[in-house]
Chain A
Amino acid sequence: EAQVTQNPRYLITVTGKKLTVTCSQNMNHEYMSWYRQDPGLGLRQIYYSMNVEVTDKGDVPEGYKVSRKEKRNFPLILESPSPNQTSLYFCASSNQLHYGYTFGSGTRLTVV
């Protein structure tokens, strides 16, 4: 089944403890993105990748890092999480410019 898989689905962590949210797609898509979704603010793009080793900042990149060493994987790294990074995170991938992104199921992160 064609899908985008994120892990974990839920995570509660403490301020300052490094964490990684994994994202993997099995559709050989070139484009991958990370979004966060907060009430009243909608979906905001964190980072974006056009292909292996090609990444770019979105609208809210501060406090996040990404890497794209393989086409299928696009992990999101929080080196030192803070409470303002508590949010619902979505990974998404797309292959062609006239098709929409396929989203993962989301990761609900709470930083205390």
Chain B
Amino acid sequence: GQNIDQPTEMTATEGAIVQINCTYQTSGFNGLFWYQQHAGEAPTFLSYNVLDGLEEKGRFSSFLSRSKGYSYLLLKELQMKDSASYLCAVRALGAGNMLTFGGGTRLMVKP
């Protein structure tokens, strides 16, 4: 089975940088995904990591360390619209494209 842990809630200030961590345990790792979900809406894909290191996409970056079972999502120059839940999801080897999601981190951005 898989176990995925994220903080439940975080608060940050507009214009600042925030890092959302995700730790996971899986019998065989085959990729980690980050999604953003605004309240009452569908999740939207943010990033994908399968090799160690940092993937950068504009204001968002995602980091992976497979040996530590650890990932983080870094959000720079925070905007009010970044207030949302951020979901970490792991794909296991032999699981096709099945994803297991963590509980999500609710980020509140304050002025």
Contact = CB atoms under 8 A, between A and B. Distances in A.
Report if A and B associate in a common complex: yes
B18 interface: no
B50 A98 contact: yes
A42 B41 CA distance: 14
B96 A42 contact: no
Nearest to B102: A42
Interface residues of A, number: 26
A104 B91 CA distance: 20
Contacts of B96: 31, 48, 50, 56
B45 A59 contact: no
A101 interface: yes
Contacts of A40: 103
A59 B102 CA distance: 13
In the complex, the 3 A-B pairs of residues with the closest C-beta atoms, listed nearest first: A100-B45, A103-B42, A43-B101
Interface of B: 30-31, 33, 35, 41-46, 48, 50, 87, 89, 91, 96-104
22 contacts: A31-B96, A41-B103, A42-B101, A42-B102, A42-B104, A43-B87, A43-B104, A44-B101, A45-B99, A48-B96, A50-B96, A50-B97, A56-B98, A90-B42, A90-B43, A97-B30, A97-B97, A100-B33, A100-B35, A101-B43, A101-B97, A103-B44
